[in-house]
Chains A and B, each alone.
Chain A
Amino acid sequence: MHRREAVQLLGGIAAVPFLPRAADAAAALAERVHRAVQAGARFRTFGAAHQALVSRLADAIIPATDTPGALDVRVPEFIDHVVTDWAGASERRALLDGLDDIDARARQAGAPGFVALDATRQARLLEALDRDRDAPAGAGHAFGRIKSLAVFGYFTADAVQRDVLKTVMFFGAYDPCAPL
């Protein structure tokens, strides 16, 4: 990733309204994005631009709150792994093309790409993409796939299974009707 793109990425993320506004939270977010960018060597299908876009989408879908976010548990790398080794060629093509369509939608709005959109317009585009997530191709399709994999990758991650979901594999008894 070029430095200019990274700066745009951070600028875009730091101002999105549904993310923490406090300065330390923004700094922590910048650190996470930095780590995601530095981990570029582990990406095998996503080039720099797609890494930045997928990281931004994953973080928008599952941001860090009082619990870790998608970037903390390396969801973009997991998505790249699935897209590289699990997806079929046509599925991979549809996803990459759809990611490009997301950037194309951003360019129509006057930005170089999605990550460079200002926060308000990024949020508005995400809403539109989410409504269109079941589309068979295009920007909505790509968002739907990224979201599905982000949710799966996040909730199956070690730290989330252990510390957030507190998954147990051994129960002393079965409770068929416990309080939530």
Chain B
Amino acid sequence: MQSATYDAIVVGSGITGGWAAKELCEKGLNTLCLEAGRPIDPAIDYVEHVPPYEMPYRGLGDRRQLERYQPVQKDCYACDEWSGKFFVNDLDNPYTTPDDSPFSWIRGRQVGGRSIAWGRQCYRWSDLDFEANARDGVGVDWPFRYRDIATWYDYVERFVGLQGNPEGLGHLPDGQFLSPFPLNCAEERLRETVRQRFGGERVVTHARVAILSRPHNGRQACHFCGPCERGCATFSYFNSVHVTLPAAQATGRFTLRPFSVVHSVIFDPRTRRALGVRVIDANTRQVIEYRARIVFLCASTLESTRILLNSATPEFPDGLANSSGVLGRYLMDHIMGGGAYGVVPWLADRKTVGTARSGFYIPRFRNVRNVHADFQRGYAFQGRAYRIGWDRGRSGAGFGADFKSSLTRDLGPWTFRIYGFGEHLPGAGNRVSVDPALVDAWGVPALRIECRYDENARRMLKDMVVTATEMLEAVGATEITPIEENNPPGLVIHEMGTARMGRDPKTSVLNGWNQCWDVPNVFVTDGACMASTANQNPSITYMALTARAVDHAVELMKRNEL
């Protein structure tokens, strides 16, 4: 069945799909946004103020249902009793991995995608990152430099509402910041101690988060309730449901179609352009074709690549736009889980009032000015200081009236958590392909995912333990407990690559404008486009690249080149 024709189709309604839809609509294009999952109504679906006693398991989660239907998703901290509904059913959405190398593919199929439960941390990349591949001879060179996208960072940050403290660091550029939530007094002491003891090489700054510290663009400031990943009644953190999609809607040129599983891109061999996309209605299983002049794939890193792989034609037998043969290859995810905990004896008479979901950030300091002997590239720490409260009584010693009184009135010592996120180098062996034997609940061929961390990443993780411990010792912490996790790739949910950008159509899928070399009216602007991971959280870069790609696409259309 063939349906209406649009100027543009956007596949996906998450972080990048929301931005693509907003920008396309605002530039005058009638835009269809296709979302595989259900609609979201903030008034019904946001549950951040539902107290634990209204939940059947008080927040422990319905473990049997999780183990049965979400055995992969449940490993994400945000997939809890409240927010589990923002994560997919793993039985409906299968994939395979080699027996010896699991990959946690964490997904959100609903309007808003993973932007509802995302981590909200936003850090610009710099030329330390964009030049790295060329400098090290690893992967392919990024087709642009920081100066080419700096104004696009400005553009998206102004709309998003990003808080941060300007630090003037060359390798972590400042942005368009709202004033940050203050560090709490324990974090402030860590900042000062690290400044004095590590000679300016290490910096403890305010986490840069997409949470409003004051009213912004018609949205209200944060009210410090805490669990952002459950939604936000005041629209204070950024997601596509209550920020970009309403902006698209306001243009009158926006059509959102949920329950629309995109199977493949329709390719016209005569014009060598995409005609549109082939959709399976998630409820009726009816196949519908939608047509448009341009297609933006914003379905998430692996879903966008999966669509291209499933769009093979006689001209592109290994996947659409894959004349290079690198489609599906160079999958990466940050490595996380090195660091340390520690407790401090001071400030026992102080607490926070309200929960600020920001904390501190320690930008990369390895391989910035000096060369580290053990590994290439670097890592950053995210962390916070907090007082545990009554929860410490679940495992601590004691019982009886004094125990109860202590848990009720005291909060326990300030605890620091310093937790690292490091770069993962691109490797051709880390790849996705179409599993020949498996389809999902809608009959769409599923992925086989092969991804392993390399020795470089593992050495970096060990160094995270060392340097986090050094900083905790400097601040006078005791009971320092190393964190040295062995997480499967994917669990950071910063999966990147598989349709990388580059300067050469022989070695990359996308050009410097997120445009397929082979099929110029198809753009991929989510994490699939990435040629390296840096160590910064990638979402703000996806947003900047998406807005930039839309601007370029519309310019090409105006010049009748698309």
Contact = CB atoms under 8 A, between A and B. Distances in A.
Interface of A: 18-19, 60-63, 65, 67, 69, 78, 82, 85-86, 88, 126, 130-131, 133-134, 144, 147-148, 151-153, 155-158, 161, 164-165, 167, 169-180
Interface stretch (B45-53, B132-140, B146-154, B329-337): B45-53
A65 B356 contact: no
A65 B401 contact: yes
B408 A156 contact: no
B512 to A, nearest CB: 42
Contact of B404 (A62, A133, A134): A62
19 contacts: A18-B401, A19-B401, A62-B404, A63-B400, A63-B401, A130-B397, A130-B399, A144-B395, A147-B394, A155-B407, A156-B58, A158-B51, A169-B49, A169-B226, A171-B223, A176-B356, A177-B185, A177-B350, A179-B351
Contacts of A151: 390-391, 393-394, 407
A91 B394 CA distance: 17
Nearest to A123: B400
A155 B52 CA distance: 10
A179 B349 contact: yes
A56 to B, nearest CB: 12
Q: Which 4 A-B pairs have the closest CB atoms?
A: A171-B354, A177-B185, A175-B353, A176-B184
Contacts of A153: 58
B225 A170 contact: yes
B59 interface: yes
Given A148-B394, A180-B349, A174 B52 contact: no
A65 B354 contact: no
Nearest to B63: A86
Nearest to A159: B53
Nearest to A172: B223
A126 B352 contact: no
A65 B57 contact: no
A86 B184 CA distance: 36
A78 to B, nearest CB: 8
B398 interface: yes
A147 B187 CA distance: 32
B350 A174 contact: no
Contacts of A175: 352-354
Interface string B513-552: 0000000000000000000000000000000000000000
Contacts of A148: 394-395
Given A86-B63, A169-B51, 8 more contacts: A18-B401, A63-B400, A156-B58, A165-B390, A169-B49, A169-B223, A174-B353, A180-B350
A157 B53 contact: yes
B270 interface: no
Contacts, number: 132
Contacts of B52: 156, 161
A73 to B, nearest CB: 9
A115 to B, nearest CB: 16
A24 to B, nearest CB: 17
Contact of A176 (B59, B185, B348, B399): B185
A62 B393 CA distance: 11
A115 B285 CA distance: 61
Contacts of B225: 169-171
A130 B49 CA distance: 35
A156 B351 CA distance: 20
A157 B53 CA distance: 6
Contacts of B58: 78, 152-153, 156
A82 B408 contact: no
A58 to B, nearest CB: 10
A158 B404 CA distance: 17
Contacts of A178: 350-353
A148 B407 CA distance: 13
Nearest to A134: B395
A164 B404 CA distance: 11
* Most central of B224, B398, B402 by chain A CB within 10 Å: B224
